[in-house]
């Protein structure tokens, strides 16, 4: 059945150009819910050893309340509480909680936080599920969606890439724009669509579509580095 024009599932296909388009965070939430329900609770993801059940638990925990968000952000504690939530809560219930969005007391309910902080989170985790499956194909995101991903990526990349062994510049392949992720002379330039650069910066290099330019030795050193939060 073809989605209605105002259905967020159709946002990318319709290539909405009015304003900045709908929030990528909202579009990806709707589409990620569909994907999670389609693959089931035991499907692999690109989020370490997590299954889709674990990923759904992480998404719910992260935006459940201030305490849950802090726990989700601390690696060892986050893994433990995710495991507990998986044991205690059925997969379909977690997916429905995620579909409903952050609860009233959530930090993500504050104006603007969903757009600023969830666009990358929802897009990357959606691709974690999609690209872990054998039949995945790359999606064609419109320019407005790429720009929404690019805006927070420029800021977050500076923290994530700060431990790179060489200077790094991110460059959009669909627009004349670039961002310095790690300062220094003669940087390696990582070029690609913002959606692919998100995956590169967040440690999904094995499935991301990007190109590296610069000194050959520097490129080789960077290839051996996998970024993590």
pLDDT, position 75: 54
Strand order in the sheet with 211-213: 178-182, 168-172, 188-192, 211-213
Say which residue the tokens 């692999």 belong to: 44
Alpha helix (H) ranges present in 110-193?
113-130, 143-160
pLDDT, position 11: 87
pLDDT, position 127: 98
Q: Which CATH number fits domain 143-223: 3.40.1130, 1.10.3470, 3.30.160, 3.30.1050?
A: 3.30.1050
CA atoms within 13 A on the CB side of 54: 18
pLDDT, position 89: 97
Q: Alpha-carbon distance 210 to 190, whole Å?
A: 7
pLDDT, position 101: 92
pLDDT, position 77: 57
pLDDT, position 229: 58
Q: Alpha-carbon distance 108 to 26, whole Å?
A: 12
pLDDT, position 13: 81
Which helix or strand (DSSP H or E) is residue 69 part of?
Answer: helix 66-73
Query: Phi and psi of 83, rounded to 5°?
Result: -60, -40
Provide the residue ranges of all domains of the chain, joining segments of one domain with +. 8-130, 143-223
Neighbours of 137 (CB within 10 A): 7
User: What is the pLDDT tens value at each position of the chain, 229 positions in all?
Assistant: 555 657 888 888 866 555 567 899 999 999 999 999 999 999 999 999 999 999 999 999 998 866 666 656 555 556 788 999 999 999 999 999 999 999 888 888 888 888 889 999 999 999 999 999 998 999 999 999 999 999 999 999 999 999 999 999 999 999 999 999 999 999 999 999 999 999 999 999 999 999 999 999 999 999 998 886 5
pLDDT, position 112: 83
Would the pTM count as exceeding 0.75?
yes
Angle separating helix axes 24-39 and 52-62, nearest 10 degrees = 150
């Amino acid at each position: 059945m073809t989605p209605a024009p105002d259905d967020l599932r159709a946002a990318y296909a319709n290539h909405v150009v009015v304003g900045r388009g709908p929030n990528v965070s909202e579009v990806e939430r709707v589409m990620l819910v569909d994907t999670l329900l389609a693959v089931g609770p035991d499907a692999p993801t690109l989020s370490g050893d997590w299954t889709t059940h674990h990923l759904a638990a992480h998404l719910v925990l992260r935006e459940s309340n201030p305490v849950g968000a802090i726990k989700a952000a601390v690696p060892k504690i986050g893994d433990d509480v995710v495991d507990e939530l998986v044991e205690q809560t059925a997969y379909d219930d977690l997916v429905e909680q995620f579909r409903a969005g952050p609860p009233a007391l959530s930090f993500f309910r504050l104006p603007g936080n969903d757009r600023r902080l969830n666009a990358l989170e929802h897009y990357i985790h959606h691709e974690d599920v999609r690209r872990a499956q054998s039949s995945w194909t790359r999606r064609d995101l419109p320019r407005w969606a790429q720009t929404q991903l690019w805006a927070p990526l420029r800021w977050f990349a500076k923290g994530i890439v700060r431990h790179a062994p060489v200077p790094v510049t991110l460059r959009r392949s669909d627009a004349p724009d670039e961002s310095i992720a790690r300062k220094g002379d003669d940087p390696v330039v990582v070029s690609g669509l913002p959606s692919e650069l998100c995956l590169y910066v967040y440690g999904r290099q094995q499935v991301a579509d990007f190109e590296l330019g610069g000194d050959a030795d520097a490129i080789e050193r960077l290839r051996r580095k996998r970024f993590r939060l």
